[in-house]
Each structure stands twice: as structure tokens, then as C-alpha cells.
Amino acid sequence: MISPRLIGVHAGSILRELSRVPAFIIPTILFPAMFYTIFGLPYARTSPQAADNVLCAFVAFAVVGVTLFQFGVGIATERGRPWERYVRTLPVDAETRLSARVVVAVVFGMGAAGLVAVLARTLTPVSFDAVQWLTFALYALAGAVPFVMLGIVVAYWCPPRAALPVTNIIYLLASFAGGLWVPPEELPRFAAIISPYLPTRQYANLLWSIASGHGELAAVAALCGFTVVFMALATIGYRRDERARYA
């Protein structure tokens, strides 16, 4: 049975460890805001609709980055440490440890996405009302689930040293082709063809539906499908790692 107290203890331990690494915290929080300022802000200032769309895209970019790196690189790095073998002998199940990492990802995701939202609210004519802001936050959290699963896939299917470059490639290419940096209609032809089939595009569609009022159900269905596929791959990878290391 999952214990909230153990989840809190484990999450606190991860947060304390990461707090000692400014090289991780600062880029994680500032990188999406920097990209938003350079690439999104000039377009976002042109109209309220553009401001809403750019805000949604770059919040998605922020949350995807946090989840992929927290779960993909974070878990893969732990796999390569002797400490991980010791932790596996403790009476803490995998669900508790995963839940703790989810809490950490939420903390950093709120920081990264929140900074983008503050910039958008301050510098652009964003037209969201209070209900839309609340819906936006809920959708941003719920839509991150498939990327949590994708991060775990990377963590258990890649060697620890390969996890960082693989995650970077997935993050940057999927963000660009998914329409998170430029509007989907302005993507190069090759990217426009694959864009609707990417989880990043469906995540953006989910957030864009708040402003447009349509496309929500299709995006939810697509994200649920990606979640199932990634969860299956993550489970296979985890069990394979268990057999290889501890059988």
C-alpha cells in the first residue's frame, strides 16, 4: 500500500538533493521562459488570440521538458549508481518512489510553467479569465501523464549514459515538430506531416482547446492512447531491468 508519508519523505529527499545542484534547477526553470521571450513574445504581442496560443504552446514546452528530464534522465542516472541497488533492498515499493518523483516533477513543472505564465500575463494581451486559468492549470498537469511514461521508457530502455542525449533529441525534435515553437501552419512540410501524430502536438491541442473551445475530446483520446502505449513500454523496460540486475 502506498504511504503518503513515505512519498513525502522520498520527494523531500529528491528535492534536497536537487537543491544542491543549481546547474539543474536554474536551467530547468529559466530555459522555457528564455525560449518564450526570444521566440514567442514577438508573435504573442500581436493579438489576444496569438497571446493565448503562444502561452499554451510554451507552457506545454516547459512541462514536457521537466517531465522528460526528471523521469528519463533522473531515473536513468539513478540506475547507474550503487546507491540504487541499496535502495532496492529497502521496504519502499516502486510505486512510492515513482509517486515521489511525480511530486518533484510537479514542483519543477509549476515553477517553469508558472514563470512562462507570469511573463505572458505581464507582457502580452492574454485573454484568459479566472475559470480558463484554472482549467489551463488542470489540463497542463493532466496532459503531462504520457510524458511521464515516455520519460520512464527512456530511463529503462537506454543505457544511463545515453539517456541525456536521447532525451534532448526527443525533447527538441518533438517540441519543434509538435508546433510548440512556431504555429503548426508555419512548420516545414516534413514536420507538418508528422505533427498531428506526435504527443506534443496533442498536448498543445488540449491546451489550445481552452481558448478555441473545440478539439478537446480528440486531444484527450490521443493523449490517453499515447499513455497506454508508453506505459506498456515502460513496464516491459522496468521488468527487463529487474531481471537483468536483481534476478
pLDDT per position as a tens digit, 184-216:
999 999 999 999 999 999 999 999 999 888 889
pLDDT digits 0-9 by tens, 122-172: 999 999 999 999 999 999 999 999 999 999 999 999 988 899 999 999 999
* 62: Cα separation from own chain's centroid: 7
How confident is the model at residue 2, as a pLDDT? 67
CB 86 within 8 A of CB 63: no
pLDDT at 206: 97
Q: Residue 18's pLDDT is what?
A: 79
Q: What global pTM score does this model have? A: 0.91
At 196, list the grid cell. 498531428
Query: Rounded distance, CA 233 to CA 228, Å?
Result: 9
The kind and range of the H/E element at 234 are helix 216-246
Domain count, the chain: 1
For residues 98 and 95, give the distance between their C-alpha atoms in angstroms, rounded to a whole number. 5
213: phi > 0 → left, psi -120 to 50 → alpha, else beta; which?
left
What is the mean pLDDT of the segment spanning 62-88? 82
Per-residue confidence (pLDDT) for residue 246, from 0 to 100:
66
Residue (of 125, 120, 121) closest to 58 by Cα position: 120
pLDDT recorded at residue 1 = 60
Model confidence at 89: pLDDT above 80: no
Q: Which domain holds residue 159?
A: 4-246
75 or 94, higher pLDDT: 75
- pLDDT, mean of residues 16-32: 83
Is pLDDT above 70 for 93?
Answer: yes
